[in-house]
């Protein structure tokens, strides 16, 4: 069992690193790389937004201020909308036509770790 009381069970590694979702495994690797790079880009963009806000409000930025920053509900909503546009621009051409409900990105966002309520 884990030493961290916040978790009830140890991590169970899945075999997704061996799974293939497309006909060509190289395409799977490219998608994995694209999702990873996109996640890093969004994380950096969000950090820049935090630094800009801190400079506006305090005239300075420290690591502690960045790490402790809590966005307002309005900022969260704005960032979430901007993130969704980023995902659509980045992955939209890949997923067009793959949803019969007219929302090609919803399933991908939820599986990519870039969607949902967390940012």
**pLDDT class of 56 with cuts at 50, 70, 90:** very high
Least confident of 15-24, 33-42, 52-61, 73-82: 15-24
Higher pLDDT, 44 or 106: 44
pTM of the model: 0.62
SS (H, E, C) the chain: CCCCCCCCCCCCCCCCCCCCCCCCHHHHHHHHHHHHHHHHHHHHHHHHHHHHHHHHHHCCCCHHHHHHCCCCHHHHHHHHHHHHHHHHHHHHHHHCCCCCCCCCCHHHHHHHCCCCCCC
Residue ranges per domain, the chain?
Answer: 43-112
Higher pLDDT, 119 or 69: 69
69-85 residue pLDDT tens: 999 999 999 999 999 99
């Amino acid at each position: 069992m884990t030493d961290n009381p916040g978790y009830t069970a140890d991590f169970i590694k899945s075999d997704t690193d061996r799974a293939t979702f497309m006909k060509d495994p190289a395409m799977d690797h490219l998608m994995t790389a694209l999702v990873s790079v996109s996640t890093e880009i969004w994380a950096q963009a969000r950090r820049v937004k935090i630094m800009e806000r801190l400079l506006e409000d305090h005239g300075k930025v420290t690591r502690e201020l960045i790490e402790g920053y809590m966005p307002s509900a309005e900022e969260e909503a704005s960032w979430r909308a901007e993130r969704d546009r980023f995902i659509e621009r980045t992955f939209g051409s890949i997923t067009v036509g793959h949803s019969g409900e007219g929302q090609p990105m919803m399933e991908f966002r939820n599986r990519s770790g870039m969607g949902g309520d967390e940012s």
